[in-house]
Structure 1
Amino acid sequence: MNLLDALRTHRLLAIVRGTDPEAALASVLTLADAGVALVEVSLTTADALTVLRRARAALGPGYGLGAGTVLTADDARLAAEAGAAFLVTPALAPSVATAGQLGLPVLAGALTPTEVVQATTAGAVAVKLFPASLGGPDYLRALRDPFPGTAFVPVGGVDAAGARDYLARGAVAVGVGSPLLGDAPSGGDLAALRERAAAFRAAVAA
């Protein structure tokens, strides 16, 4: 998939991380049904690879389903085998190089200017600014001055209001975990998840 185009188009990446594989799968399917076009399943989720496989089977080959918290080369290979169309890392990890070898786009985690350079040099199609909450939207704006051509996706503590602020300061998209998912991936309320999904979609469309 063209991850960068998808990020620019949809502007929202949902991050599913939970302790209950069935609930995590239900959360992915609920998000997809609610119109969220990009979802990553964190490999810290219980039985994450099975969740990925079952979600891919249910959603088909064209859906924007990826794997997150991909750290090692083995993580990258296993995620690809499970049906991930893209990989997300929290940092500059060995998985970034492996993603390139596998032909998968990668959203690589970085925080400092040096890490931003390293991530783009390593082949990341976009930089996951993480944890974004440390500097907030003003830090993103400061980074955009020396890196005007870099696609940034802030992740970490991004709520609906924050999503609008980051996008206004030049982010191509935002990645959202618990402010969107709540406790749904661990067995919580899917109806509430659907409502939050609608609110976030409205926020990024504004």
Structure 2
Amino acid sequence: MDLTATLATHRLVAIVRGGDPDAALRTVLALAEEGVELIEVSLAAPGALSVIERARTAFGPDRPLGAGTVLTAEDARAAHSAGADFAVTPGLGDGVGAAQELGMPVLAGVMTPTEIIAARALGVAALKVFPVAEAGGAAYLKALRGPFPDAPFVPVGGVDEDLARACLAAGAIAVGVGSPLVGDAADGGSITALRERARAFRKVVEEATR
């Protein structure tokens, strides 16, 4: 898949991480039903690989499905075997190269200019600026775009509706959203409330794309 182009088209990545694999799967499926096209399942959550496997079965082969918190080469191989077709990392560990060798494009975690240069040299598909809220939010992203005006930045970490709107306005190719979107749904919380939040975030993205 062309992850960079897909991010530019859909502009929202939902990050699912919860303590209940069945609830996490329901969350993934509900997000998909609400039109969230890019979903990552964090490997830091219990049963994450089974969630990816079952979601892939439900989606079929063509819908994008990511594995998050890919730290090691073993993580990348396991995620690929489970059916993930892109990888999201918190940094530039061994999982980046291993995922690319398997044909999985990578959204790689960076924070500093040095890390951005290193990630681009590795040929990653996009740059996950993490944790953006703690680092200065949209102002920090705007500052990074000075020396890197064409870099495909995806701010992640504490991205609520307001910060999503500000980051997209500041030039982010997409935003990655975890708990402000997923809430407690992946732990067994309300799917109805999840659907409402998904619609709200999709509205933010649609408004930013006009």
1:192 CA displacement = 0.3
AA at the equivalent of 1:54: R
CA distance in 2, matches of 1:125, 1:48: 23
Matched, 1:122 2:122: yes
Q: In the alignment, which residue of structure 2 is the partner of 1:89?
A: 89
Q: Aligned runs of 1:4-19 on 2, under 5 Å?
A: 4-19=4-19
* Aligned positions of 1:12-27 closer than 5 A: 12-27=12-27
Q: How far apart are residue 91 of structure 1 and its match? A: 0.8
Most deviating of 59-68 and 189-198: 59-68
RMSD: 0.6
1:1-206 pair list within 5 angstroms: 1-133=1-133, 134-206=135-207
Q: Secondary structure at the match of 2:41?
A: strand
Structure 2 distance, partners of 1:155, 1:143, is 15
Q: 3-state DSSP class of the match of 2:124?
A: coil
Whole-angstrom distance in 2 between the partners of 1:183 and 1:65: 21
TM-score (normalised: structure 1)? 0.99
**5+ residue gaps, structure 1:** none
Matches of 1:160 and 1:204 in 2, distance apart? Answer: 9
Alpha-carbon distance between aligned partners in 1 of 2:122 and 2:42, rounded to the nearest angstrom? 21
How far apart in 2 are the matches of 1:34 and 1:10? Answer: 13
User: 2:65 is paired with a residue of what secondary structure?
Assistant: strand
TM-score where L is the length of structure 2: 0.97
Separation in 2 of the partners of 1:183 and 1:118? 35
1:64 is paired with a residue whose SS is coil
Helix, strand or coil at the partner of 1:161: helix
State the 1:138 CA deviation. Answer: 0.6
Q: Which moved more, 1:58-67 or 1:174-183?
A: 58-67
What is the CA-CA distance between 1:7 and the residue it aligns to? 0.5
DSSP 3-state at the match of 1:175: strand
CA distance in 1, matches of 2:100, 2:162: 34
Residue 94 of structure 1 deviates from its aligned partner by: 0.5
Secondary structure at 2:128's aligned position in 1?
Answer: strand
Aligned residue pairs: how many?
206
Code of the residue aligned with 2:18 in structure 1: it is G
Question: Deviations along 1:151-206, whole A, 9 cap, x unmatched?
Answer: 00000000011111000000000000000000000000000000000000000111
Q: What's the offset of the Cα at 1:135?
A: 1.7
Identity of aligned residues (%): 60
Q: Matched residues in 2 for 1:146 and 1:189: separation?
A: 43
In structure 1, how many angstroms separate the alpha carbons of the residues matched to 2:115 and 2:136? 15
How far does residue 71 in structure 1 lie from its aligned partner after superposition? 0.3
